[in-house]
Structure 1
Amino acid sequence: AGAHSQMSGILAAGVTVLVALFFTPLFHALPEAVLGAIVIVAVSGMVKVPKLRYLYRVRRADFVLAVVALLAVLTFETLQALLIAVVVSLFALVWRASQPRLAVLGRVPGRLDFSDIRRYPENKTLPGLLMVRPLNGLFFANAAGFREAIVAEITSSAEPVKAVLLDLGATTDLDVPGADMLAELAEELRDRNVRFMLARVITPVRQMLDLAGAMQAIKSEDVFVRPIEAVVDYLSSQYDDASLQELMRSNANSMRSLLQASLASAPAERRAALTAIMDRFDVLIQESESDRR
C-alpha cells in the first residue's frame, strides 16, 4: 500500500511468519505459474530500469557488468550468480588497469603546472624534453605496455628527444615488475643517449626502487620532487636560454623560490648553473618591479 515506516515492516514480517506457520496448506494447490507471478511482482521493484539507462549513458562498461549480474541472477542460483558477477567485475577491473594510458605533458601557459597536451593543445612543450605521466598506477599487468608507449612516443617525436621526464604522481604503489620495467627503461634510454628523470616519487615507490635495485640504473640526482624542478635542471644542463627566458618572464617569483629550494640538494656540477639562473631571476624581478612603478 506504499507504507514505508518501520511499523509497516514489522507488521509485514509478522504476517509472513504467521502464514508460513499456519496457512501454507492453503497455497499448496496453487499452480507454479501463480507462485512465479508472485515472486516476479515482489522482485520487479528491485530492478532499477532508470539506473540501467543511466549506466548506459554514462559508462557502457558498467552497464554491461550490470546486465551480466542481472542475467546471472535470472539464470543461476543466487550465490552462484553473485560469484559470477564478482569474478566478471574483478576481471574487468584488472583489464582496465592493464591498459596503458599515457598523457604527454606540456606547461600550462603562465603557470608552473603541466597537463595533457592532447586535451589542452595550448600547452607548451619544451624542445628535446618528453614529459609523460601514466594516468593509472604502474604494476605487473601494464608495465610492459607503458614502456612500449614511452618508446613509441620517443620514436614518433618530430625532433630528437634528449630527456624523458616520467611523472609518477598517479602511482601510489609499485610492485617488483614495475620497478624492473623502470630500470630496463632507464638502461634502454641510456643506450639511446637519452636522459631519464623521475618526478613526484612518493616514499613507498622510492623504497621499492631501492629494494629492487632499480636505482642502480636510475641516477639519484635525476629523481625530483616536482616536475618543474626537473624541467629547470634539464634546461640548465642544455643551456636553453630561450626556454629559460620564457619561463622566467611568466613565472619569475615562483621559479626563483623553486630554484632556491632545490639548490641545496643539487649536485655540485649543477650548482653553478642554478646560481647563475637565480641571479638572472633576481635581475628580471627587479626590472619587473621597476616597470610597475
Structure 2
Amino acid sequence: MSDSKIHLSKILPAWQWLQDYSKPKFRADLLAALIVIAMLVPQGMAYAMVAGLPPVTGLYASILPMIVYAMVGGSPTLSIGPVALISMMTFATLSPLYEVGSPVYIQAACLLALLVGILSTLLGIFRFGFLIRLISHPVIKSFIIASAVLIALSQVKFLVDVPLKSGNVVEFIQSAWQYLSLTNLQTLVFGLFAILFLIYAPKFLNSDLFKSFAHSMPFLIKALPLFLVFISIALVHFLHIDQYGIKTVGEIPSGFPPISMPFWSWDLVVQLLPGAAMITMVSFVESISIAQATAFQQRSELNSNQELVALGLANFSAGITASFPVTGSLSRTVVNADAGARTPMAGVLSSIFIVIVSLYFTGIFKELPLAILAATIIVSIWKLVDFKPFVDSWRYSKADGIAMWVTFFGVLCIDISTGLIIGIVSTFLLLLWRISRPHIAVIGLVEGTQHFRNISRHDVLTSTNIVSIRIDENLTFLNANTLKEFVISEVSKHPDLHHVVINCSSISNIDLSALETLEEINNELNKLNILTHLSEVKGPVMDRLKQSNLIDELSGKIYLTHYQAMHELDAQTFC
C-alpha cells in the first residue's frame, strides 16, 4: 500500500474497509442492522423525550451521525446515536435556561450538539485523547449509576401523568409530595404492565420451554420493545384506551431531517459552553470505553484521537440536522456485535432504515403512549443501577470508595454536571492526599539473598549504625517534607547512627522542591557526622541530579545497588 493510501486510511478509515467489502460482509451487516433498528426506533424516540425534545429528533439523531461515524470512526461495531446519559445531560444543561420543548429550546439543543462537535473535533486534532485518563473508573461507574437513577426518576412523570421535577432527588421528592394525589391511575397501571412485560417476557422466552426457539430467532428477544410499541399503538387505535387519559406522542412530522445551521449568538454560546464541555468529556469517555471493549474482542486497532474527531464530526452532523448530542450506545453496540456486524456498514444500513421510517412510517407512531416509551427507558437504564461496585471499591481502596460516594450523592442531590465535577475534584484531592503521605519503610536484608524488605513485615538483617530507607513514591513538593520528618524520627531512634541510605528504586522523578529538601537532609545529617547515601537511582533521575549541586555536596556516595551499599558500609553484617 502506498504512503498516500496509508495516510488516507488513517484520516478516513472507511477507505480501508470499503476496499475489502464483500457480499458475505454485507449480509452479516444487514442482519445486524435489522436487529439494531428494532431497538433504535423506540430508544431514539424515548431518549429524545429524556432530553426534553420531540420524539422525532431521536430519529434524526440516528441518521447522519451514524453515517459520519462509519466513514471516520475506527470501531467496526460502535453504534452512534442518542443515549440516555447524554440526553439527560442535555436536559440538565438546557432546562434551567429555556422552556422545555419550546422552539428556542430545540434550537439550543441543536447548537449544543454543534458545540460538542466542535470541541470534540478540536481535542482530537490537537491530540488530547489522553484526557480520558483524567476521570478515574470508580468516578465514571458512580456517575453512570447515579445518572441512571435520575434518568429513571425523570420518566416517572410519564407513568403517573403529573409534572414531576427530576433535576435531583430532592426536587423529585418535593414535587412527588405535591402532585401525588393527581396521579392518573390508568396511565400508571398501563405503564407498570409495560415494565413487567419488558422484564419478564425475555425471561419467559429464555426458559427451557422456548429456549431452542429463542436461540434460532435471536431477533425476537431484541425486538420485544418494538413489539410492545406496536401492541400499544394497536390498543390506542382499535380500543381507544387514550380516552382514559393515557397520553400519546401525537403528530410526528415526516420527511428527511432539515439540514441547516442552528440559530446562534455569542451570548448563547457562552451560556451553553460549560454544558457542552461536560457533555464532550462524558460522551468521549462513554464512547471510547465501549469502543475499546469491542476492539479487544475483535483485535482491531483504536486511536483515541481519531475517535474524538469521529465523535466530533458525528455531533456536528447532529447539530445541523435538527437533533441533539450523541455518543456510542453500549446496549446497541453489544447487540450489533453479537448480531455479527462485520464493518461500520451496519451503522450506515441502520441509518438508511431510520430514513425510511422518518419518510413513510412516522404516522404510525402518533398513537404511541408516552408511558410505553417511559417504560422502555426505565427497564433499559435500571440494569445499570448496581451498588456492588461501591462495596468492592470501598474494600479495596477507601479513597476510591469515598470518590464514588461523593460523586453519587453529588449527582443525585445537586445535578449531573456538578456531581461529575465534584467527583473529579475529589479524585484529585484524594490523589494529592495520598501522594503527600507516601509509604516509607526502613528496610533490611533478607538473609541468604541480596533482597531488602520492610523490617516491620519480614525477618531481616539490620545494622545499628546504618538506617536504610525506601520511599515508594516520586519525590515532589507534596511529600518531600514527609521524608524529612521520617529521617529525623529515625535519627532520633539510633544514637550510634553513622549512615543513612535512601533506596531510590521506586522514585522516577524528583522535582525542585524535593531536591532542595534532599540537600537540606544531607546538610543537617552532615552536621551530626552522619553520611547520606543514595542507591539504585534510575537513569532519568540521575541525569537530572547531575545538573544539580546535590551530587557534589553529597556527604556519602551513590551506589548502583542497595546490596552494594550495605556490603561496603558494613561488610561484617551484610556479608
Q: TM-score under structure 1 normalisation? A: 0.70
Q: Tell me which of 515, 520, 526 is aligned to 1:184.
A: 520
1:199-238 Cα distance to aligned partner (Å, 9 max, x none): 011122123223232223215x7001100111122125xx
1:129 aligns with 2:466: yes
Matches within 5 A, 1:116-265: 116-120=454-458, 122-157=459-494, 159-219=495-555, 222-235=557-570, 242-243=572-573, 247=575
Could you tell me how far 1:22 is from its partner in structure 2? 9.3
Matches within 5 A, 1:89-108: 89-108=427-446
1:7-53 Cα distance to aligned partner (Å, 9 max, x none): 654322222345612999xx699324578x85665543222212222
Question: Which amino acid in structure 2 is aligned with residue 84 of structure 1?
Answer: I
Corresponding residue for residue 326 of structure 2: none
Identity of aligned residues (%): 21
Q: Tell me which of 414, 421, 428 is aligned to 1:76.
A: 414
Q: Give secondary structure in 1 for the equivalent of 2:573.
A: helix
Corresponding residue for residue 67 of structure 1: 405
Distance in 2 (alpha carbons) for counterparts of 1:147 and 1:62: 28
Could you tell me how far 1:60 is from its partner in structure 2? 2.5
Conserved 8 A contact 2:467-2:500? yes
Distance in 2 (alpha carbons) for counterparts of 1:136 and 1:191: 27
Distance in 1 (alpha carbons) for counterparts of 2:539 and 2:470: 18
1:105-159 Cα distance to aligned partner (Å, 9 max, x none): 1100111111100011x111023110010022211100011111111111112x5
Conserved 8 A contact 2:465-2:497? yes
Specify which structure has the bigger relative contact order, considering alpha-carbon pairs within 8 angstroms and separated by 6 or more residues: 2
Conserved 8 A contact 1:175-1:208? no
Distance in 1 (alpha carbons) for counterparts of 2:542 and 2:162: 68
Cα gap change, 1:13 to 1:40, in 2 (>3 Å): closer
Question: Which amino acid in structure 1 is aligned with residue 478 of structure 2?
Answer: A
Distance in 2 (alpha carbons) for counterparts of 1:40 and 1:175: 51
Distance in 2 (alpha carbons) for counterparts of 1:13 and 1:214: 65
Cα gap change, 1:15 to 1:47, in 2 (>3 Å): closer
Cα gap change, 1:22 to 1:160, in 2 (>3 Å): closer
Conserved 8 A contact 2:474-2:506? yes
Corresponding residue for residue 259 of structure 1: none
RMSD value, Cα: 2.9
Matches within 5 A, 1:2-81: 8-17=35-44, 20-21=55-56, 30-33=161-164, 41-81=379-419
Distance in 1 (alpha carbons) for counterparts of 2:33 and 2:560: 56
Unaligned runs of 5+ in 1: 237-241, 248-293
Question: Which amino acid in structure 2 is aligned with residue 59 of structure 1?
Answer: S
Cα gap change, 1:14 to 1:124, in 2 (>3 Å): same
Q: Give secondary structure in 2 for the equivalent of 1:211.
A: coil
Distance in 1 (alpha carbons) for counterparts of 2:478 and 2:496: 30
Distance in 2 (alpha carbons) for counterparts of 1:105 and 1:6: 62
Cα gap change, 1:154 to 1:224, in 2 (>3 Å): same
Corresponding residue for residue 273 of structure 1: none
Cα gap change, 1:100 to 1:50, in 2 (>3 Å): closer
Conserved 8 A contact 1:126-1:243? yes
Unaligned runs of 5+ in 2: 1-31, 47-54, 59-100, 102-157, 165-187, 189-370
Conserved 8 A contact 1:179-1:208? no
1:162-184 Cα distance to aligned partner (Å, 9 max, x none): 10110011110110011111111
Q: TM-score under structure 2 normalisation? A: 0.37
Distance in 2 (alpha carbons) for counterparts of 1:47 and 1:28: 20
